[in-house]
C-alpha cells in the first residue's frame, strides 16, 4: 500500500503520525514542505477534499505572525492556496494520502480506522 505523509519533521502532530505508522509497520514516504515545497495541484486537491478553511492552519504561529494586511487578503480558496505555497508552515499538518483514504491532521482513532481495520 502506498502512503504519503506531508508535513514538517519537527511538528508534534507529524511526529505522532509517523510514530503510529512506524509502530504498525506501515511503510510511507515523507514529504517535507520546508525542503521540498508543495505544488498548487496538491493544495487544490486537498482544499477540494477538506475545505480550504481546514487546510489553512489559522491556529499556528505562522498564521498568527503574518501581517494583518496579508491575512485580510485570504478570502477564498485561490488566495489561501497562494499563501500556503509561499508559507508552507501555514498548511495544517500532517496530511496523509493513502490508497485507503486521506486524512488531515493527527487523530489516533482515524488512523486506526483507516489502517488497522
The DSSP 8-state label assigned to residue 90 in this structure reads G
Segment 69-113, tens digit of pLDDT: 999 999 999 999 999 999 999 999 999 999 999 999 999 999 999
Segment 51-73, tens digit of pLDDT: 999 999 999 999 999 999 999 99
User: Could you give the 3-state DSSP secondary structure of residue 117?
Assistant: coil
How far, in Å, are 1, 18, 97 from residue 92 at the CA level? 24, 15, 14
pLDDT value, residue 117: 85
Give the active site residues: 11
Enter the pTM of the model: 0.93
User: Could you give the 3-state DSSP secondary structure of residue 99?
Assistant: coil
For residue 94, the Cα-to-chain-centroid distance in whole angstroms is 4
Superfamily of domain 3-115: Glutaredoxin (3.40.30.10)
Amino acid at each position: 500500500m502506498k502512503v504519503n505523509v506531508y508535513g514538517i519533521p519537527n511538528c508534534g502532530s507529524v511526529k505522532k503520525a509517523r510514530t503510529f505508522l512506524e509502530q504498525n509497520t506501515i511503510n510511507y514516504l515523507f514529504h517535507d514542505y520546508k525542503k521540498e515545497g508543495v505544488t498548487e495541484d496538491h493544495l487544490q486537491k486537498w482544499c477540494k477534499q477538506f475545505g480550504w478553511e481546514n487546510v489553512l492552519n489559522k491556529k499556528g504561529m505562522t498564521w498568527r505572525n503574518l501581517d494583518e494586511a496579508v491575512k485580510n487578503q485570504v478570502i477564498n480558496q485561490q488566495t489561501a492556496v497562494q499563501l500556503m505555497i509561499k508559507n508552507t508552515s501555514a498548511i495544517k499538518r500532517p496530511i496523509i494520502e493513502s490508497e485507503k483514504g486521506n486524512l488531515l491532521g493527527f487523530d489516533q482513532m482515524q488512523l486506526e480506522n483507516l489502517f488497522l481495520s
